[in-house]
Structure 1
């Protein structure tokens, strides 16, 4: 029988994203079957800077398809009340207020046309 066996793993290792340009961080997360979501990129310029922080940290295990929250250098600072600290990565565990839903970020760090 030829070909590769089907991937039946349900978890994946979080890659190191800190220091990478945002676009490359998105690609690395996708390669690990994860989605990198910027928490502070409030405008296109901030979405192009390097990643300053990430949660969860590199090396931790997440469910495939899970979310890695990233903070982009030059965007708003990470706050202690960021709502992205829910146990499942959904953002449901913090004390932050309700804010506007962030726009999706394309592979080059710009907004996705829609």
Structure 2
């Protein structure tokens, strides 16, 4: 799984929930499955070819209910504040300004690398 572009992760994300289910202890398993479900839901909303006010509001509200853990415990947590996850919120404004995500692609820029 080296040198994959964002589009290459679509299939992995779609089949991740059954693969990861039950691999971790109960509390971590629930957190991981919730995260995967929210990412799948977000991905499905972003890929819609036509948006309504309802789908835009639903997309705007997804992925924003994350609990920030107490980082003083010395335990490592999944960091929701990385740049790649931070820019997920910019998709709503991009869809409003440029249209649905099937109208443009980063594939040419990715191939240039």
TM-score, with structure 2 as normaliser = 0.25
More strand by share: 1
Q: Which has the larger radius of gyration?
A: 2
More helix by share: 2
TM-score, with structure 1 as normaliser = 0.25
